[in-house]
């Protein structure tokens, strides 16, 4: 019985260590970016030793995926299914952007750091999911606009531009707009294509 208890206690300790490592890594990813979050910094913040981090997460991809899942549980991204219930496409886009842009602000450090991880082995599935999410958002937000067939491609491109993180960054950090003004401007831009 004592051995079984020790194994359970050890398992709980390992689970607790893993949780603290993921939380520490997530906190660093959200503040300074994943490329600057060293294993030593993660270990220090989690209150464990560096080898403990490496034992739980032997490669960058496994840690990155665990942090991504943790982040989605804490702060889920806006849900395109909710946008579909909005009949007017202009209102739908404005509502979506008013949800997306603050989300980009909260995840700014992560998005800015993503280009540093393109091509990292093991992250292909994460990039594929992210591309699917963007395509799903664009599809939902491009529905219902009254536009001629020869303007449809422009509409889809404009919607894609409006929902892009780098567009948000340019409008807010480069041009000084707040999230709501940036959302309104992009909605007006897309709406202009339909005229």
Q: Of 57, 73, 89, which marks where a domain is finished?
A: 73
- Can you tell me the distance from the alpha carbon of 169 to that of 191, in angstroms, rounded to the nearest whole number? 21
- Can you tell me the distance from the alpha carbon of 175 to that of 157, in angstroms, rounded to the nearest whole number? 21
b/e burial code for range 109-141 (CB count within 10 A of at least 16 → b): bbbebbeebeeeeebeebeeeeeeeeeebbebb
Same structural domain, 140 and 186: yes
Q: What is the pLDDT of residues 85-95, one digit of tens each?
A: 999 999 999 99
Q: What is the pLDDT of residues 125-152, one digit of tens each?
A: 888 888 999 999 999 999 999 999 999 9
Residue 194 phi, psi dihedral angles, 5° rounding = -85, -10
* 1 has pLDDT over 70: no
User: pLDDT category, 113, cuts 50, 70, 90?
Assistant: confident
* CB neighbourhood size of 182 (10 A): 23
**Burial of 148: CB neighbours in 10 Å, binned 0-12, 13-18, 19+:** exposed
Cβ pair 117, 35 in contact under 8 A = yes
User: pLDDT category, 104, cuts 50, 70, 90?
Assistant: very high
Q: Of 73, 102, 132, which marks where a domain is finished?
A: 73
Same structural domain, 67 and 41: yes
Same structural domain, 171 and 97: yes
Same structural domain, 68 and 94: no
Q: Give the per-residue pLDDT at 2.
A: 57
User: pLDDT category, 5, cuts 50, 70, 90?
Assistant: low
Q: Give the per-residue pLDDT at 120.
A: 79
* 3 has pLDDT over 80: no
Q: What is the pLDDT of residues 16-67, one digit of tens each?
A: 999 999 999 999 999 998 888 899 999 999 999 999 999 999 988 899 889 9
- Can you tell me the distance from the alpha carbon of 147 to that of 191, in angstroms, rounded to the nearest whole number? 10
How far apart, in Å, are the Cα atoms of 165 and each of 154, 186, 194? Answer: 19, 13, 23
Please state the domain count of the chain.
Answer: 2
* 157 has pLDDT over 90: yes
Range of the domain at 138: 77-193
* CB neighbourhood size of 57 (10 A): 21
Q: Which two tokens stand for residue 27?
A: 């906190």
> pTM for this structure?
0.84
User: pLDDT category, 193, cuts 50, 70, 90?
Assistant: very high
How far apart, in Å, are the Cα atoms of 73 and each of 12, 23, 127? Answer: 21, 12, 18
Q: Which two tokens stand for residue 8?
A: 């359970």
Q: Give the per-residue pLDDT at 114.
A: 85
Q: Give the per-residue pLDDT at 4.
A: 61
Cβ pair 57, 21 in contact under 8 A = yes
Same structural domain, 89 and 67: no
Q: Give the per-residue pLDDT at 141.
A: 98
């Amino acid at each position: 019985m004592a051995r079984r208890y020790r194994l359970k206690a050890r398992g709980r300790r390992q689970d607790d260590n893993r949780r603290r490592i993921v939380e520490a890594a997530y906190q660093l990813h959200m503040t300074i970016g994943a490329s600057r979050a060293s294993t030593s910094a993660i270990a220090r913040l989690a209150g464990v030793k560096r080898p403990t981090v490496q034992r739980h997460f032997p490669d960058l991809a496994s840690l990155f995926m665990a942090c991504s899942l943790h982040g989605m549980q804490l702060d889920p991204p806006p849900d395109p299914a909710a946008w579909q219930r909005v009949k007017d496409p202009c209102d739908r886009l404005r509502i979506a952007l008013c949800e997306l842009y603050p989300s980009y602000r909260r995840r700014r450090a992560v998005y800015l750091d993503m280009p540093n991880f393109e091509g990292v082995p093991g992250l292909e599935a994460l990039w594929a999911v992210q591309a699917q999410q963007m395509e799903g958002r664009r599809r939902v937000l491009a529905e219902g606009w009254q536009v001629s067939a020869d303007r449809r491609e422009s509409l889809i491109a404009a919607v894609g531009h409006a929902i892009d993180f780098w567009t948000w960054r340019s409008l807010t950090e480069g041009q000084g707009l707040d999230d709501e003004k940036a959302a309104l401007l992009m909605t007006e831009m897309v709406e202009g294509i339909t005229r």
